[in-house]
Amino acid sequence: MDKASFLERLQRERDKFELLLNQVGFTRQMTMKGVSGSLSIKDLLADILTREQFIADRLSEIVHSEIYAPCASHTALQNFQDKYGYPDYESPLAEKEKINHLVIDKHKNIGLDDIVEQELAAYTNIISLFKKLTSEQCLDHDLIHRIAEHTYKPYRRTIIEINRWLRSIASESN
């Protein structure tokens, strides 16, 4: 897939995600626990924020010719999370699709509006940085796959969880 096609796909996936969030709408519903286990939509957004920030930072490193290597030890993994505030999602030691509860705890006292603002900024940063990269850089760093792993694949997982939750609360009210 070329860069332009990927950007179109990413935007389509983003539009689906934002449309659902807009349908949920109310702040009260966004912070209600139980969407996915004991998590709220706000918690799921915090997870997406950190995944997007992770890939935005990796893209920035590529733009600036810096080298990233996935953490190979648990100590390095802990040091990475201490330094960046999010896990090394590409480490072979990290559970890729599992929500990191340290991330959720870190964001529990941050308001929903702030999380949404930071998440939008991270997404915008991803787009901006990706556009700066050459097609060769994208291929060399497997960026289409990596960006998808940290953007629209988590959007899809979150959409499934939110839709399941919306169906359950709708059936409870009937």
Q: pLDDT at residue 122 above 80?
A: yes
**Burial code of 55-88, b = ≥16 C-beta within 10 A, e = fewer?**
bbbbbbebeeeeeeeebeeeeebeebbeeeebbb
Mean pLDDT value across residues 141-159: 96
Q: What pLDDT is recorded for position 98?
A: 82
pTM comes to 0.93
Residue 109 has pLDDT above 70, yes or no: yes
Q: Where residue 74 falls among pLDDT bands split at 50, 70, 90?
A: very high
The first and second tokens of residue 138, run together, are 């994208």
Among 57, 38, 13, CA closest to 154 = 13
Spell out the domains of the chain, with CATH numbers in brackets: 3-169 (1.20.120.450)
Beta strands in 121-171 (DSSP E): none
At 168, the amino acid letter reads S
Q: Confidence band (pLDDT; 50, 70, 90) for 28?
A: low
